[in-house]
Chain A
């Protein structure tokens, strides 16, 4: 049975979609965004063992060439993450969809849905489909938090069990997208249109950094692509303030936007036809 690498499960998330939700964070991402605020989720552990030497709680050890994590001993100090030279985490649990569901099931009365995030959740596509099926059978809503690199058009099975995608649009053009994430923007922009057309676009998200990114252009681009849908569909646009928190030291020179700047971006989005804009 396949087991997906799970970084963590949050039993009560209020920022990953509407209402109270369980959020499942998978490990590993196919983007490498400079501003990533949880870079330890980007790569899989290569078992170099560096973290085992610095764990103050003795919760990490090497066994048969692999890093083994003792959940019980762990004090969640994140020293392992700080010393990891590889943007990975040794604190990964490999879980099947059924095992993940088992964790969620007891909390059913309190949540209205589950959201899968990451890392990039679509890298665990099979696990997500199975998990979402179980969720749907139990009356939950299902959301994907995705970087948009996945070819949704050719996976109707996934779309069928998903209520929507919270899609990151990180830049306005190929060049800047590659600079920021290391990957192409073309699938992302295609998905923006396709998901809106299929009624599967839960929200669009853009992290805003004055100076480093052409945020106005990104908003305009998103608006241009969504313009055929904005009149009849209330698509939420979440403008996210860049924050230093968690960002790797080498990328710490980005500037945090102030309220005024965010309001200016909100004005622009309103002008372009969005009605539901959230600044966080």
Chain B
């Protein structure tokens, strides 16, 4: 997804508009398609925000307490779309003029064609499907070596043509030949895309397969581990993990994602009482109303749900979409409110601070669950612990403990366990390790298993010193970011997200864990 560093104010004169358009056209840091995106976004933002947007939204956006995550003033598509690729491979598509594939070669090409014609809020799809479920029958009919070669080119094709870190695919929880081949290929390929999740269930996923996944993750930051049971229970049996780590229904998705910046909100409060009684209800209420207005506009005032070929052919269903009620900065919010109440405890280090953290989420969850939205799946919004953006100064990602203040590993994982359960539609934490982790993958797996036992729902690792790393929820190469810093254009849209003080912190300041050897 592209994020432009520009003011979100309306443009008053034609000349200013022309200047802005020329500026985008001349931007050497952008590729052709990135420029096209930027121009489209610029045009979109000439529109007003959707009808029904509450007045308070503008004030709270101005004060940085609410953020619409650069979605634009008038989105013309749902933000996250998870097409039903199983249906596609079974039935083909009349729009794409494709019959159901008969072998692996055809299946991979069919998928690539679908991906090319799909989109999310941006031009790339954020969900590529469950590779093993989609391909295992085809893979098994090929010689292992042939299947590996085809899958390798399939993965490379994805990386080079869908150069956006929020393109996500899933494997697991069962072991499979497809999964194994992918885990063997990824470290060799060192690709940024796709972001890969292993749907992990300790009772279903064999330890050897899980260890292979961890070894792979240390070498190329993929895959992350999603706790399968949680997502099945809270999202649905047919869930998919899309974009960063978003648990959503396959054949559906999410209309929009708007975020509270809790850290910033707390700065506007006298103390925790003021927060709970005044500021938080105001912000939550405003965000709920804003999301209603936006969803209403996407459903009733845009063509997507009426005419898009994916909808028409039943690969996505309008009634399987939700609104994502996002938040960042819980840690700063807790720490600020503790200080304002005259207490010294910090989130992750003090039980009282963590009780406050849970109380904040319970308060938000209550309001979100009471809110009725006619278009959202089951008429409810779902909470999302968002990974952060470039303008989040003073707000750590979602419910993560601020970098540099992380407790010891076990305590850290237990802390995640307190907060992850509130966020079926997306939450996660990242635990980079140093080379000692290679010495005993059983031990690393024990730690992952322990994490899920204490309530972690999504976690990942990578080698702290590596080039390919997981920044917040997405993957990036340090070397790509360096190129961009030097003024070169890079193919991956997401490299731009890492520019700036706040995002760089995600890259460089996470505590890197080490085993005693």
Contact = CB atoms under 8 A, between A and B. Distances in A.
Interface of A: 10-15, 18-21, 106-107, 109-112
Contacts of B447: 12, 20, 110
Nearest to B442: A19
B interface residue count range (under 10 / 10 to 19 / 20 to 34 / 35 or more): 20 to 34
Interface string B353-396: 00000000000000000000000000000000000000000000
Interface in B99-116: none
Contact of B440 (A11, A19, A106, A111): A19
B16 interface: no
A18 B207 CA distance: 13
A20 B442 contact: yes
B446 A13 contact: no
B450 A14 contact: no
9 A-B pairs with the lowest CB-CB distances in the bound complex, closest first: A110-B450, A14-B440, A20-B446, A20-B443, A109-B450, A109-B453, A14-B443, A19-B442, A14-B515
Of the listed residues A11, A20, A107, the one surrounded by the most CB atoms of chain B closer than 10 A to its CB is A20
Contacts of A14: 436, 439-440, 443, 515-517
Interface of B: 408-410, 413, 436, 439-440, 442-447, 449-451, 453-454, 515-517
Contacts of B454: 109
Given A110-B446, A112-B446, A15 B440 contact: yes
A14 B446 CA distance: 11
B409 A15 contact: no
15 contacts: A12-B516, A14-B436, A14-B516, A14-B517, A15-B517, A19-B440, A20-B442, A20-B443, A20-B450, A21-B443, A109-B410, A109-B454, A111-B450, A112-B442, A112-B446
A112 B445 CA distance: 10
Nearest to B439: A14
Nearest to A18: B442
A54 B517 CA distance: 28
A110 B515 CA distance: 13
Contacts of B413: 110
**Of B446, B451, B515, which is in contact with the most chain A CB atoms at under 10 Å from its CB?**
B446
- B interface: dominant SS: helix
Contacts of A107: 410
B409 A12 contact: yes
Nearest to B515: A14
A15 B516 CA distance: 8
A21 B446 CA distance: 9
Contact of B410 (A11, A18, A19, A21): A11
Contacts of B442: 18-20, 112
B446 A19 contact: yes
B446 A111 contact: yes
B261 to A, nearest CB: 33
Given A12-B409, A110-B450, 11 more contacts: A12-B516, A13-B516, A14-B436, A14-B439, A15-B517, A20-B447, A106-B410, A109-B449, A109-B450, A110-B409, A110-B447
Contacts of A109: 410, 449-450, 453-454
B408 to A, nearest CB: 8
Nearest to B454: A109
B516 A19 contact: no
Contacts of A12: 409-410, 443, 447, 515-516
Nearest to A16: B516
Contacts of B443: 12, 14, 19-21
Contacts of A19: 440, 442-443, 445-446
Nearest to A107: B410
Nearest to B445: A19
Contacts of A13: 515-516
Contacts of B409: 12, 110
A110 B448 CA distance: 8
A110 B410 contact: yes
Contacts of B436: 14
Nearest to A10: B516
B12 to A, nearest CB: 59
Nearest to B453: A109
Nearest to B417: A109
Contacts of A21: 443
Most chain B C-beta atoms within 10 Å of own C-beta, residue among A11, A13, A14, A21: A14
A167 B128 CA distance: 51
A142 to B, nearest CB: 16
Nearest to A23: B516
A112 B202 CA distance: 14
Contacts of A20: 440, 442-444, 446-447, 450
Which of B436, B440, B443, B445 gathers the greatest number of chain A CB atoms within 10 Å? B443
A107 B451 CA distance: 11
B455 to A, nearest CB: 10
A112 B453 CA distance: 13
A110 B517 CA distance: 18
A13 B514 CA distance: 10
B456 to A, nearest CB: 10
Contacts of B410: 11-12, 106-107, 109-110
Contacts of B453: 109
A13 B447 CA distance: 11
A18 B211 CA distance: 14
Contacts of B449: 109-110
Contacts of A111: 446, 450
Nearest to B444: A20
Nearest to B413: A110
B448 to A, nearest CB: 9
A199 to B, nearest CB: 21
Nearest to B450: A110
A69 B451 CA distance: 35
A163 to B, nearest CB: 15
A9 to B, nearest CB: 11
B421 to A, nearest CB: 16
Contacts of B446: 19-20, 110-112
